[in-house]
Amino acid sequence: METLWAPWRSAYLSEATENEAKNIRTGCVFCEALTNPDDRTRYVIHRGKNAFVILNLYPYNNGHMLVIPNQHAPRLDHLPVETRCELMELINKAQLVLQTVYRPHGINIGNNTGQAAGAGIADHLHFHVLPRWTADANFMTTVANSRVIPESLEISWERIREAWEKIL
């Protein structure tokens, strides 16, 4: 097995850890987004009964969404069955929307439970749903330690939100 190093992720993880420490004192960014009524400024795609979908502010690729329970809980087993079912339905719809809007070669769906597992915000469970393309880690990523995101969050939000409403 070959090991690939991704040192550019270190800065992101350090920042996320610092932000998490700040959020303990100031509140949870996901809970704050949920209570903010302005979906456009918080990039909320969908609000469900027990969960919501939002764009990731630090995306790996355009269209990187987070599916988040309304209940502030660190682990899946802390949530009621109804919420877990809704999370899975929203994850499914998110991947259908990504296929429609971006036509990716693949889709990553994942969850990092706990800080040691890589969760940037460990106290509020969330799932990542993001499109992937063959060789989407281009020369900028590997040589310049930079990721190129060609579409603004505002445009991504508009495209995804429109598709979300159309897909049943």
Catalytic (active-site) positions: 126
Q: Who contacts 106 (Cβ-Cβ below 8 Å, separation ≥6)?
A: 131, 132, 133
Max Cα-Cα span within the chain: 48
Q: Which candidate, 149, 144, 137, places its Cα nearest to that of 4?
A: 137
| Separation between Cα atoms, residue 84 and residue 146, nearest integer Å | 35
Residue 158 and residue 44: Cα distance in Å, rounded? 10
Task: Evaluate whether 124 touches 72 at the Cβ level (below 8 Å).
Answer: yes
Task: Return the ∠ at Cα 82 (arms to 106 and 129), rounded to 5°.
Answer: 15
The interaxial angle of helices 153-166 and 81-102, nearest 10 deg, is 110
Q: What is the DSSP letter of 69?
A: E
